[in-house]
Chain A
């Protein structure tokens, strides 16, 4: 295997390990909180914090965690960081906290975070685990923001970010898109597009 570089590990998290893979593992938050770009960013920020914290802790402690009890240990470490971000957001950003609702505590059972702990942080040094957390976190952010942008734009006719009106298109808003059904459709279409480009690439290669 080639030498690991920091940039390479970072990009791997965004590109190679990311798109469709992350979509399936991350379903619950990816659908529920992406009614607007702002919520999507809040959610991915929280997830990045937890991922970073748990990756650092687990890779630092990886030689002391007995293999048999590793999953409960991971869960407790992740839980600790989730509780921290839960309280911080409740105190400092109450509106965001309210709109994300129960999905903050549910970061605990987010498959991506425990997946990274198991597949990466428990086998690599602290330095690379930090990079990995940033890479995966950024990939997650990109996916959520794309879904959020599509839904907000078509559902309300505008993208509002932190009080600024970024884009405004003169269409009749389709409330359908901000309803749960719109989320399922957006993600279905996105996945079909990813599949389509993958099939085309395969055909070109063959």
Chain B
């Protein structure tokens, strides 16, 4: 297989295959957290951080433990455990060394262990057969794409929260209609990178 260039991975991760708007990964927390910019920023930072960490660890475990010993049927289970353990570890470290960061990031960390976006990134790395650098970079750019959409969405929601919309549309349906428009913009990126 031809090596996929890092640049192509970046464009793919941020725009063409945006996790939230195109691949539908990580939506569960997206709607809850995107109500205001402050929490959206905290959540995005935490997600990006955990994505990079877990794609690094998952790659090492997959290619040096699971594959050589023929244990690939344990992929899902070990990835889940890796992510959960990593999130715990990160939480301990941040709490010990940076209490202000912990206060702003801390409450979002437990949410992440069951975030489909994080598990999605590590599983996609395996399915797309990315190498080490590519995996880590994909984790990073997927996180960037997530952050971008999260910030856009929270800004729009903050601005439009005072609008006078019909009663049944208030809240989540409203958020969905905004997402529809954002997603339509992202559809234009299809085909930018030939697959």
Contact = CB atoms under 8 A, between A and B. Distances in A.
Interface of A: 24-25, 27-28, 31-32, 72, 75-76, 79-80, 82-83, 86-87, 102, 105-106, 108-109, 111, 114, 176, 179-181, 183-185, 187-189, 191-193, 195-196, 199
B176 A179 contact: no
A105 B119 contact: yes
B27 interface: yes
Interface in B140-164: none
Given A28-B24, A181-B183, A79 B168 contact: no
B112 to A, nearest CB: 10
Contacts of A25: 28
B177 to A, nearest CB: 5
Contacts, number: 107
A126 to B, nearest CB: 24
B104 interface: no
B97 interface: no
B77 A76 contact: yes
B84 A27 contact: no
A72 B80 CA distance: 10
Nearest to A87: B73
A86 B177 CA distance: 33
Given A180-B187, A192-B169, A106 B26 contact: no
CB-based closest 10 A-B pairs: A188-B176, A196-B168, A195-B168, A32-B24, A181-B183, A79-B77, A184-B180, A27-B27, A192-B173, A181-B184
B172 interface: yes
Nearest to B27: A27
15 contacts: A28-B25, A79-B76, A79-B80, A83-B73, A102-B123, A106-B25, A108-B119, A179-B183, A180-B21, A181-B187, A185-B180, A188-B180, A191-B172, A192-B169, A199-B168
B183 A195 contact: no
A82 B187 contact: no
B168 A192 contact: yes
Contacts of B180: 181, 184-185, 188
Contacts of B177: 184-185, 188
Nearest to B167: A199
Contacts of B123: 102, 105-106
A106 B119 contact: yes
Contacts of A24: 28, 31, 172
Contact of A75 (B84, B115, B170, B173): B84
Interface string B20-48: 01111111100100000000000000000
A88 to B, nearest CB: 12
Nearest to B169: A192
A185 B77 contact: no
B176 A180 contact: no
